[in-house]
Amino acid sequence: MKTIAFLYNVRHHYPDPKDLRNQLEADFDDPITNKHQIKHLRNCGYRVIPIEANEKAYYKLYRLKDEIDLVFNIAEGLHGLDRESHLPAILEMLQIPYTGGGPLTEGLILNKVRTKEILLLNHIPTPPYQLLKTESESVGIKLDFPLIVKPLAQGSSAGITNKSVVYHKKELRNQTKKIISIFKQPALVEPFLTGREFSIAMLGNPPMVLPIIESDHSILPKKYLPLDSLEVKWYFEEKTEGCDYLTCPAELNGKLKSKLKEMSLHIWEALDIQDWCRIDIRCDEKENPYVLEVNSPPGILPPEISSTSYFPLACRKIGIDYKEMLKSVVAAAWKRYHHK
Ligand SMILES: Nc1ncnc2c1ncn2[C@@H]1O[C@H](COP(=O)(O)OP(=O)(O)OP(=O)(O)O)[C@@H](O)[C@H]1O
Ligand SMILES: [Mg+2]
């Protein structure tokens, strides 16, 4: 029987669109979510050692390293802009095999600008951008309003609300100031694209592209702007169980479908992703796709908690249930270490 150490971070507050401070832990999971994830891993037939990825995790991993066959890593890391690279770096040092990308890839992927730089070098389209380190910096003439202001290195729509879309300089300054002071990181500014939006889950090495998810912003009630904001992801989607809002597989013509697939495979290579990821893409009005960001590890809320968690949803569409999904991620990583 394989011994799997499950590495995770714990959220203490449910994200609140009105309180940016309450969004700092949005990337982490509630204790009840972790409980179900551990149960599902055990149901796969593994011996599971849960380890919270806090400051003490190093000691636990060090002490248990000879017992652990593989780490199932969904930790996002606790401190600093490079936090997602911390656990993979520790695991490299201890020579413990683990799921997902290495420290360089994980650090890069959390940082939306570093990701964009690599994408641009590889001629993969991503929206133009500017990084603002202070609220008084002005944006270049190449960026036209409306713009969207996002934290540089967060996930789960933390800091991304209706207020993130700004229409003039004063709003831009206010939102930039908020992001910098609450998240203690620069603000990323991009043109606000209003075309179709897709999320593309990938699994395995080489990866298979899972059925593409589309979010239909046109059905959102008026109070929500057309984007996957914190309000939409954490309140609207969860309450409506994604009925009608998420389409999977998305209805795509052959040309767009192959373009999205080709882009995703190119991104996987360019960023050196391993085992699994989810890529967010939004189009302009002419249906030209642009990469917004890459999620690795992707969120995997269990069915007891959510029916709209994107990665498990895409898996279900090809008959891979939650348990099989966990097994497939383990198998992908296992193969990398044991069948070179
Ligand atoms: N440039 C943009 N133009 C239009 N919409 C955007 C843009 N950037 C972000 N969005 C919207 O905001 C949402 C969240 O942005 P993004 O994916 O960058 O954040 P995230 O917090 O890392 O997301 P995740 O929940 O996938 O981790 C997107 O799904 C999209 O709807
Ligand atoms: Mg996203």
What's the pLDDT at 280?
98
Ligand with the closest atom to the CA of 76 = 1
Nearest CA to ligand 1 atom 11: 227
Query: What mean pLDDT is reported for the chain?
Result: 94
Q: Which among 10, 338, 44 has a CA at the least distance from the CA of 205?
A: 338
Stretch 82-90: mean pLDDT, rounded? 97
Q: Is the dihedral of CA 186, 191, 197, 202 positive or negative?
A: negative
Is 225 a pocket residue for ligand 1 (Cβ < 6 Å)? Answer: no
Which ligand 1 atom sits nearest the alpha carbon of residue 227? 31
Ligand with the closest atom to the CA of 224 = 1
Query: How many angstroms separate the alpha carbon of residue 78 from the centre of ligand 2?
Result: 19
Q: What are the structural domains of the chain?
A: 3-100 (3.40.50.20), 109-125+194-338 (3.30.470.20), 130-191 (3.30.1490)
What's the pLDDT at 106?
97
Stretch 217-230: mean pLDDT, rounded? 91
What is the spatial distance between Cα 88 and Cα 275, in angstroms, rounded to a whole number? Answer: 14
Q: Which among 226, 302, 307, 229 has a CA at the least distance from the CA of 26?
A: 229
Query: How many angstroms separate the alpha carbon of residue 156 from the centre of ligand 1?
Result: 9
Q: Is the pLDDT of residue 306 over 80?
A: yes
Residue 200's identity, in one-letter code, is I
Stretch 238-264: mean pLDDT, rounded? 90
Q: Is the pLDDT of residue 140 over 90?
A: no
What is the spatial distance between Cα 109 and Cα 89, in angstroms, rounded to a whole number? Answer: 15
Stretch 134-152: mean pLDDT, rounded? 88
What is the spatial distance between Cα 290 and Cα 11, in angstroms, rounded to a whole number? Answer: 31
What's the pLDDT at 3?
98
Query: How many angstroms separate the alpha carbon of residue 283 from the centre of ligand 2?
Result: 14
User: Which tokens belong to 155?
Assistant: 């996930």
Stretch 15-30: mean pLDDT, rounded? 78
Name the pTM for this structure.
0.95
For a ligand 1 pocket test, name from 154, 166, 175, 228 the mutation site with the most ligand atoms within 8 angstroms of its C-beta.
Answer: 228
Query: How many angstroms separate the alpha carbon of residue 157 from the centre of ligand 1?
Result: 7
What's the pLDDT at 340?
64
Write out the residues surrounding ion ligand 2, Cβ under 5 A.
280
What is the spatial distance between Cα 212 and Cα 221, in angstroms, rounded to a whole number? Answer: 24
What is the spatial distance between Cα 73 and Cα 299, in angstroms, rounded to a whole number? Answer: 11
Confirm if 173 and 136 have CB atoms less than 8 A apart: yes
| 63: phi then psi, degrees, rounded to nearest 5 | -65, -35
The proportion of the chain whose per-residue pLDDT surpasses 90, expressed as a percent, equals 82
What is the spatial distance between Cα 25 and Cα 205, in angstroms, rounded to a whole number? Answer: 30
Query: How many angstroms separate the alpha carbon of residue 188 from the centre of ligand 2?
Result: 14
Q: Is the pLDDT of residue 214 over 80?
A: yes
Confidence of residue 130 (pLDDT cuts 50, 70, 90): very high
pLDDT, tens digit, 9 for 90 and up, residues 254-286: 999 999 999 999 999 999 999 999 999 999 999
What's the pLDDT at 336?
97
Q: Which of 83-92, 241-250, 267-276 has the lowest mean pLDDT?
A: 241-250
Nearest CA to ligand 1 atom 19: 157
Confidence of residue 242 (pLDDT cuts 50, 70, 90): low
Q: Which among 301, 273, 262, 230 has a CA at the least distance from the CA of 30?
A: 301
For residues 98 and 18, the model is more confident at 98
User: Which tokens belong to 185?
Assistant: 């990181």
Q: Which among 38, 22, 16 has a CA at the least distance from the CA of 304?
A: 38
What is the spatial distance between Cα 91 and Cα 62, in angstroms, rounded to a whole number? Answer: 9
For a ligand 1 pocket test, name from 113, 192, 212, 227 the mutation site with the most ligand atoms within 8 angstroms of its C-beta.
Answer: 227
pLDDT, tens digit, 9 for 90 and up, residues 317-337: 999 999 999 999 999 999 999
User: Which tokens belong to 103?
Assistant: 């420290």
Helix (H, G, I), strand (E, B) or coil at 108: helix
Give residues with Cβ within 8 angstroms of 286, minimum separation 6: 195
Q: Distances from the Cα of 235 to the Cαs of 45, 245, 298, 302, 325, in angstroms?
A: 34, 13, 19, 17, 25
Is 150 a pocket residue for ligand 1 (Cβ < 6 Å)? Answer: yes
Is 154 a pocket residue for ligand 1 (Cβ < 6 Å)? Answer: yes
Q: Is the pLDDT of residue 63 over 90?
A: yes
Stretch 115-140: mean pLDDT, rounded? 93
Q: Is the pLDDT of residue 15 over 80?
A: no
Confidence of residue 16 (pLDDT cuts 50, 70, 90): confident
Which ligand 1 atom sits nearest the alpha carbon of residue 233? 25
Residue 95 burial (10 A CB sphere; 0-12, 13-18, 19+): exposed
Q: Which of 119-128, 129-138, 309-318 has the lowest mean pLDDT?
A: 129-138
Cβ atoms < 10 Å from Cβ of 169: 11
Confidence of residue 139 (pLDDT cuts 50, 70, 90): confident
What's the pLDDT at 177?
95
Residue 318's identity, in one-letter code, is I
| Alpha helical stretches, state H, the chain | 31-43, 57-64, 86-94, 103-110, 112-121, 169-183, 230-231, 237-240, 254-271, 310-316, 322-338
Is 217 a pocket residue for ligand 1 (Cβ < 6 Å)? Answer: no
